[in-house]
Structure 1
């Protein structure tokens, strides 16, 4: 790794701040956060993260709202919601050098007229003109990373040089970085678990018990594996941090926003707007699976409930009435 490597983290939310906090532990890096809001920049400069007000003892971050900083970046960590990726990738193309690598840190799909939905590496490849790309994913809550609690993540890219460099970036941090080459499997695992976690929340909110939730998580993992294998991903990726690891964490309780979304639905409560992004994940995942002619019963049931106004009890009954096949 180059000394004084310039890192730009695009996104000043809780996960962007968490990654920047870990990156700045490496004194060979110059790390700054690029944000869109002057207020967010001011908050981060004094160590305040709006989404996590209980965390109060952080030193201030190096922050800018000038996109021209991308021109000096050696590596860019893109840590913005999926809905912001079109504009963000256009900014990267406009300002960053041709060889500047991009690390995708969000989880989800982008709507696509042809395939229904594109996983983030697929979408990025269509816009970044051959630029090196990686995915950083795995079971992780931002508040725990900001508190320097141990966390294991996967860096996946077709470039083993890039994943090795990412691992070095975090070598002084509390993150343990594993490396892989299955970039589609890594992105797919993180996207599908969002929807399965909503289902786990609905299951818990309906009072169906721990046995039912365990069965749902297991069959959700099978759905993830089915789609991954169809798209040429490695099943070992889905049984690792990016698949099973992230799924187990996201289905463990309301610390997970997607499970909290499902819990509210299952209990018949109003869903806070901050949780409602799971609706989009369910719709785009279903669209992609139907394009590929892959059946995902749990994911389709979630889409029926959150986007098509299906009755929760009736939809659960229909799922449970399906004939159980060979495992």
Structure 2
């Protein structure tokens, strides 16, 4: 398999889509990976397998409609395998395994059959102290945007998944790319003030457009940098509630086609007004785990 991913919007040809089958029992509150899951655990509204499977199959049907080759993880009983973006990511023709939380190792093993189809010279492990998850890595041709957390209290945040050593390692791996990092707002307790990954507060869509939540960034100069980069007229700014609902976590099949959650009325209207076809799917149950469409997809090949 010849990998090729240079941006978020070129025509998708092959992708790993997670699976919601056999995610295991509802976790105990103290084992929640993020504050949004914890919120739903406390409220008794944590999503169930049947609903999540239906949501993921709706996405799979869209991929089939657009003739995208879809790989699914091999099923591991009682394991949440929805969020494939966390475990690995592709930049150009390189497949990079993330340094994920230790008890998620089985998730990467479940896609080894895909990794085995890639030239071994193109598969990379990160150094142990360099943390990067795929949700923090946003490709834009010769630019790579990387979400991180700069604070010395990084180890105290279960929601901090990419560190500055991870950013520096990407700089070393891709010396010809312009790598711009962003210091994201983190909270272990309030999901409305937590940008778990960069794609929870920012994502390019279409041709030169972007979705952005300004308060996801601790440094407003970094937010302004993005606004200036894309141009204010090309930026769709989402609200705190829309960020919580994960409006920036849509997924592009091409510059013209975006998969989006059906309840994102304001965003979907804006996307259509800007010439994009919006394929709406139900994904509100999966969103309860602080992940949405981009989180559950791992692109392998784009034109």
Question: Structure 1 length normalisation: TM-score?
Answer: 0.33
Structure (1 or 2) with the greater helix fraction: 1
Higher relative contact order (CA 8 A, sep 6+): 2
Which entry has the higher C-alpha Rg, 1 or 2?
1
